[in-house]
Amino acid sequence: MRFTRRLLCNFGLRATLSAPLWARSGFAQADETPAATPQISPAASPSHLIVIDPGHGGRDPGCIGAGNVYEKDIALDTAMDLNALLRKSGYQTMMTRDRDVFIPLPDRVEFAERHQAALFISVHANAVAGDPSIRGASVFTFSPDPSDPLAAAIARSENSVEAISSPSFKGVSPQVSGILFGLMSRSTKIESVLAQQKMVAALSRHVDMLPNPARQATFAVLQSAAIPSILVETAFLSNPQDEKALRTPYFRHQLALSMKSAVDTWFVARRHAIANL
């Protein structure tokens, strides 16, 4: 059975909108008493904190695959795997959520800024209306000017979920996007693009990629002016082959290994990039 992304996402929301709104308390829990307590190695400094952001959660399921696979579950599982790999290597990490709770997009950004993260990685799965042949991973940075129509549609879909779930959130209008991009420091932009390049290179070695996998769009969750931020769309739930892969722990572990490898190379490369600013 073929679904469009909007139908998939809205279906899930309609089914859960009557649930109590517990976004703030859920987020505070993740912040103050996280189940996956941030483990800080003695050698770690605040500038090495990585905030991992599993997309969606709670009443926002994200996209839902034809086999009833929820994006929010795929994102959380992959992000938890990445978190474990990074900690094992001595990185300091925090997660915006470590369980099935709804966290508003602006709060995810604020969380990373409050903790002065060195890098923010948002993990998602994808879906596109009308063309189930589209598949593969892609990596996004923020820009007021989307790189292509598909990137714009994906960002609209991610933001539209938030608009429904949190009426106070204004979304990212072209005007606001332009202002935010202007506020973004040069180093934040450079470090974000560098993280995108490293992530695309690392993922390409292990999983199939969307053509032109490095894309830009107005993702609300990437709008920090201070924290280098990227969003990984791991695969398309609207593609049968991708959906089948996403169901397997092996594939999700390959994604996590790739992302961890990208973090390793990013920390090395950004030292040179900042030195040359």
Question: Which residues sit at the interface with Zn ion, rule CB under 5 A?
Answer: 55, 62, 124
Q: Which is nearer to Zn ion, 49 or 220 (CB)?
A: 220
For Zn ion, the closer of residues 127 and 214 by Cβ is 127
CA 76, distance to chain mean position in Å, is 10
Give the number of other CB atoms < 10 A from CB of residue 16. 14
Q: If you search the block for the tokens 């103050």, which residue do you land on?
A: 32
Residue among 107 and 118 whose Cβ is closer to Zn ion: 107
Contact 236, 157 (CB under 8 A): no
Residue nearest to Zn ion (CB): 124
CB of 30 to Zn ion, least distance (A): 18
155 close to 218: Cβ distance less than 8 angstroms: yes
Q: Which is nearer to Zn ion, 26 or 62 (CB)?
A: 62
Per the rule left: phi > 0, alpha: psi between -120 and 50, beta: everything else, 130 is left
Measured in whole angstroms, the distance separating CA 145 from the mean position of its chain's CA atoms is 19
Residue whose CB is less far from Zn ion, 62 or 144: 62
Q: Cβ of residue 70: shortest distance to Zn ion, in angstroms?
A: 11
Smallest gap from Cβ 172 to Zn ion, in A, equals: 15
The tokens for 13 are 């929301």
72 in Cβ contact with 60 (< 8 Å): yes
Q: What angle do CA 40, 51, 39 make, to 5 degrees?
A: 15
Closer to Zn ion by Cβ: residue 194 or 217: 217
- To Zn ion, the closest distance from the beta carbon of 89 in angstroms equals 26
- C-beta separation of 182 from 228 below 8 A: no
At its nearest, how many Å lie between Zn ion and the CB of residue 99? 17
Cα radius of gyration rounded to whole Å, the chain: 17
Minimum distance of Zn ion from residue 157's CB (angstroms): 8
Task: Name the minimum Å distance from CB 47 to Zn ion.
Answer: 28
Distance CA 103, CA 188 (A): 24
Which CB sits closer to Zn ion, 54 or 228?
A: 54
